[in-house]
Structures are given as C-alpha cells and as structure tokens.
C-alpha cells in the first residue's frame, strides 16, 4: 500500500520543485493539491471498505523503522486537510497576484508555495504517524513551516518569533516525555505502548510533560497568548491553514495519545482539569472576540474559543456511555470548525484587501461591494455558532447529548453560553457589514477565485451537517472509543 507514503512525498516533492523553480511554483502547487485531494479520498474509501491500514516504511518493522497507520479518524483529518488545502491553494492564486503596492501588501508568493507545501507534507505525516517520536519530528516539520509562513507578512515577524519560541518550548517538553516513555518501555510505537503502559510515577511524569507540550502548541487557554497575534497578522491564506489545520493537528496528537498510551493512565481528575481549561477558553476567547476591534482578531479569538470546545471531550470521555457520543461530537466540531474557520479567514482577507482595513466598526458597505464574501462570512458564522443544519450544530448537539448522558450537566451550560457568545460576536460583525454606505473611496475588488473559494469552504461546513451519515460511519473504522462503549455498556 503505497498510498500513505505518497500523501507525504507528493507535497514534499512539490515543495522542492516550487522552491527550485519559482516560475512554475503556482502550477506545481495546484497540481499537487488536486493530487493530494484524490489520494486522500482514495485512502478514505480504502479505510471505509477494508478497515484500518498499517504499513512499515521500506519494510523496517516499528521498533527501528517508521510505522504508518490510518483509521477512520486519520482518513477524515486527511480529507479535511486536503479540502481546506485545495481551497486555500486556489485562493492563494488570486491573493498573491494582487498589486503589492497598495494596502501595504508586500507578501511574497515565492515564499508561500514551498512553505505551504512543506506544511502540508508535515500535516499529512503527522496524521499518519504511529509512533511518538515521529510525532515529534512531524510536529517540528509543521511548526517550522508555519512560523516561516506567518513571517511572510512583514509586520507579523514579531508574532512569528513568539510563535516559534512557544512552539520550540512545547517541543522540548514533549520530547522529554518521549525519552521517559522510551526509558520505561523500550519502544516509541503507540500500539505497543498502549498495551504495556502501567500507572507509575515516571509514566505520569511523561504524560504530564507530553500533554503540557501539546497544550502549548494547541493554544489551550491559558496557553493561548501567542495565537491571536500570529493568526491575526499572517497573510489571509496562512491564517486560514493555521486556524483550520495546524492547531487541529496538535489536538489530534493529543487525542491519539489519550486514546492510546495514556488511556489507562489518565486519572479522572486530569480529564476534569482539561474540561475546565476548555471551558475557560470558550468564555475567555469569546469575550475577547466580542471586544476585539479588528475583524481578523475577532476570528483569531474565536479560534481560541472553539479550541475550548474540543477539550470538553476529556471530562466526558471518563464515562463510558457518554464517551463515544462525545468522541463523535468533538471530531465533528473539529472538522466543521476547520472548514468554517478557513472560509471565515479567507473572507476576512477579502474584506481587508478590498477596504484596506478590517476595523469592525467601519465594515459598512461590505455587503454592497462583496456580497459573495459576506455570504461566506454568514455561512461560516452559522456553523461556528452552531445553527442547524450546519456541521457545527451536529458537533455541539452530540456534545450536549454526551453531557446529559454522563450527568455532567455543567458542561452543557458552558456549551450553551459559548453558543450565545459566539452568536454575539458573529452578529456584531454581520450587523456592521450589512450596513449600507455611500462609498467615497474606490474599492479594490478581490480576484473572483478569492471570493468563491472562501464561499466554497464555508458551504462545506454547512454541508458537513447535512451529509453527516457517511463520514460518521467512516469515523467508526478502528475507533477505540466506539468499541469501548459497545463492550462496556452492559456493566
């Protein structure tokens, strides 16, 4: 099965070509994007029919070689990355074409393609990896490319540097944890670790170190301070992939670890603590989003809040009945947030491009000049608020269900309050944007692909709610959570 290595090698190869031959960078990037979408969908259909895939690269078995593994969750994350990646790549064609002399735009397209394609390779490798050391390598691959992408915008260099420092610090904690686990068990393979893990002080230490490192990278409140400046100041397509995919990738790593090696280890208290931090993220992030003066900052703080929802899985996973419902809910939220936030950041980029600023109170006239973009903003916000029939609604509804089934009703309160706050900051933006205005300044019109790709991604977040049966089925493939609920329910 050479599908899995191809998912990493094709973007990597394309990144190399784009770097060496900048003239054909754009076409190379687009061809790679379409190819990766095709490969990801093929992998998803293989997983759907044939169960989880596993392979050792070049025939070297796990203790020494690199093991790749793909189950339903992997396939869904790969597909999300592929779809957001394709949409953003198409957007970038228009974005990096704009006249660089106005609006202070001096972002360079020669940097975008090689870095973005390397980031994509890192993301795909992270989703496919099956050992905790390669997880470190892929996190770094992803992190370094992401930092360089943020730094494409001249005024975002300070934010990029802070992002780099935080990312490296997180990696150090994570790597030390990997060392401890290797010392205890003599392996870094996740499947073997899952079976041999025992509750002992050194293992708890490793769990704490690795979790702390990944929380820092995922920007969970109160470790989120680096995210808003980096995501709000980066070029629009970069903001989109960072918010939609990169923070999800380190969350995915956390999910894999807590479902695998740390499952037997994690005390209930740790799950509750993660939930409390998640709730803090929802409330604090939404509050900041409500008060932020710039549209892109609103969107970035909204990401901080939405990350919080993902962490409500941890306290709910403790109870067996609610665990699998919460598991579906959280993956659903991650997927729909990925699409909605990518659409929203791209749309915000259009507004910034068209009016030369993105002050929320001065958004009047956007509805007249950029109807398609405003429609994309509206659809994305609908999913982020959790209005039916969007993907965000399905995810939140499942989480609500899980909260009631497990008897932990207070998480439901957090969910509802968070939804109301999301509606508040969304409507604040929409109200200003819908106001009409006699325009005095000539408005720059964004390239049509920039408007339509934003709309397509936003539409994807809505479709995810309507067409949820097939992907939910895919998620069951190889899911330990679903099986857990089935086998332990009678007790």
Residues that bind another protein (CB under 8 A): 63-64, 133, 136-137, 140, 144, 147-148, 151, 154-155, 157-158, 160-162, 164-165, 168-169, 171-172, 175-176, 178-179, 182-183, 188
Long-range contacts of 172-175 (CB under 8 A, 24+ apart): 172/213, 173/209, 173/210, 173/212, 173/213, 173/216, 174/135, 174/136, 174/139, 174/209, 174/210, 174/213, 174/214, 175/136, 175/213
Q: Which is nearer to another protein, 158 or 486 (CB)?
A: 158
Q: Judged by CB, which is closer to another protein: 213, or 471?
A: 213
In the bound complex, what is the minimum distance in angstroms from residue 378's beta carbon to another protein?
34
Cα–Cα distance measured from residue 308 to residue 320, given in angstroms and rounded to the nearest whole number: 22
CA 77 to chain centre: 9
Rounded to a whole number of angstroms, the minimum distance from the CB of residue 252 to another protein is: 20
- Mutual angle of helices 295-310 and 409-434, in 10-degree steps: 160
Q: Please say whether the beta carbons of 371 and 308 come within 8 A.
A: no
Cβ proximity to another protein: between 225 and 427 the closer is: 225
Q: Residue 359's CB: how many other CB atoms inside 10 A? A: 11
Nearer to another protein, 192 or 454 (CB): 192
Comparing CB distances to another protein, the nearer of 133 and 397 is 133
Residue closer to another protein by CB (options 160, 433) is: 160
Residue 161 CB, shortest distance to another protein, in Å, is 5
We find the least distance from the C-beta atom of residue 192 to another protein, in angstroms, to be: 13
**Could you tell me the CA-to-CA distances from 482 to 129, 197, 248 in Å, in that order?**
21, 21, 21
Shortest Cβ 130–another protein spacing (Å): 16
**In Å, what is the CA distance from 179 to each residue of 167, 254, 336?**
18, 17, 35
User: Which CB sits closer to another protein, 34 or 184?
Assistant: 184
Q: Which is nearer to another protein, 202 or 420 (CB)?
A: 202
Give the shortest CB-187-to-another protein separation in angstroms. Answer: 9
Q: Which is nearer to another protein, 158 or 467 (CB)?
A: 158
Q: How far is the CB of 200 from another protein (least distance, A)?
A: 16
Residue whose CB is less far from another protein, 210 or 351: 210
In the complex with another protein, the residue whose CB is nearer, 148 or 277, is 148
Q: Please, what is the minimum distance in Å from the beta carbon of residue 111 to another protein?
A: 12
Least distance (Å) between residue 358 CB and another protein: 20
Smallest gap, in angstroms, from Cβ of residue 21 to another protein?
Answer: 22
In angstroms, the Cα distances linking 268 to 261, 347, 480 are 16, 41, 18
Least separation in angstroms between CB 33 and another protein: 25
């Amino acid at each position: 099965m050479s599908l899995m290595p191809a998912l990493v090698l094709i973007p990597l190869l394309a990144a190399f070509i784009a770097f060496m031959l900048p003239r054909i960078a754009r076409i190379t990037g687009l061809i790679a994007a379409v190819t990766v979408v095709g490969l990801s969908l093929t992998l998803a259909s293989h997983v759907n029919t044939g169960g989880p895939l596993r392979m050792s690269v070049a025939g070297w078995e796990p203790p020494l070689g690199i093991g790749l593994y793909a189950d339903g969750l992997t396939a869904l994350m790969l597909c999300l990355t592929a779809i957001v990646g394709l949409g953003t790549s198409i957007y970038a064609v228009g974005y990096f074409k704009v006249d660089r002399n106005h609006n202070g735009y001096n972002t360079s397209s020669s940097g975008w393609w090689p870095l973005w394609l390397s980031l994509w390779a890192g993301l795909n490798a992270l989703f496919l990896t099956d050992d905790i050391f390669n997880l470190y390598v892929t996190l770094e691959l992803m992190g370094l490319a992401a930092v360089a992408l943020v730094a494409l915008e001249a005024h975002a260099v300070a934010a990029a540097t802070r992002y780099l420092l935080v990312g490296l610090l997180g990696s150090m904690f994570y790597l030390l944890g990997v060392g401890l686990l290797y010392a205890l068990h003599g392996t870094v393979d996740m499947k073997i670790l899952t079976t041999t893990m025992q509750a002992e002080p050194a293992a708890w230490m490793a769990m704490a170190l690795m979790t702390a490192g990944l929380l820092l990278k995922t920007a969970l409140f109160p470790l989120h301070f680096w995210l808003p400046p980096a995501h709000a100041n980066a070029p629009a397509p970069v903001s989109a992939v960072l918010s939609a995919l990169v923070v999800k990738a380190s969350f995915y790593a956390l999910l894999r670890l807590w479902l695998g090696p740390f499952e037997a280890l994690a005390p209930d208290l740790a799950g509750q603590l993660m939930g409390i931090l998640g709730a803090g993220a929802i409330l604090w992030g939404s509050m900041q989003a409500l008060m932020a003066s710039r549209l892109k900052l609103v969107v970035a703080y909204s990401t901080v809040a939405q990350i919080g929802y993902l962490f409500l899985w941890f306290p709910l996973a403790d109870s067996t009945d609610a665990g699998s419902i919460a598991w579906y809910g959280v993956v659903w939220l991650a997927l729909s947030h990925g699409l909605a936030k990518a659409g929203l950041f791209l749309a915000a980029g259009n507004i910034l491009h068209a009016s030369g600023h993105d002050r929320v109170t001065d958004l009047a006239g956007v509805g007249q000049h950029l109807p398609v973009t405003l429609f994309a903003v509206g659809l994305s916000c609908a999913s982020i608020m959790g209005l039916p029939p969007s993907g965000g609604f399905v995810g939140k509804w499942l989480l609500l269900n899980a909260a009631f089934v497990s008897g932990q009703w207070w998480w439901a309160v957090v969910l509802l309050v968070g939804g109301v706050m999301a509606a508040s900051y969304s409507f604040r933006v929409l109200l200003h944007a819908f106001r009409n205005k006699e325009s005095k300044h000539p408005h720059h019109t964004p390239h049509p692909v920039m408007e339509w790709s934003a709309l397509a991604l936003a539409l994807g977040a809505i479709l995810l709610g309507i067409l949820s049966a097939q992907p939910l089925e895919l998620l069951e493939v190889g899911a330990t959570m679903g099986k857990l609920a089935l086998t332990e329910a009678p007790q």
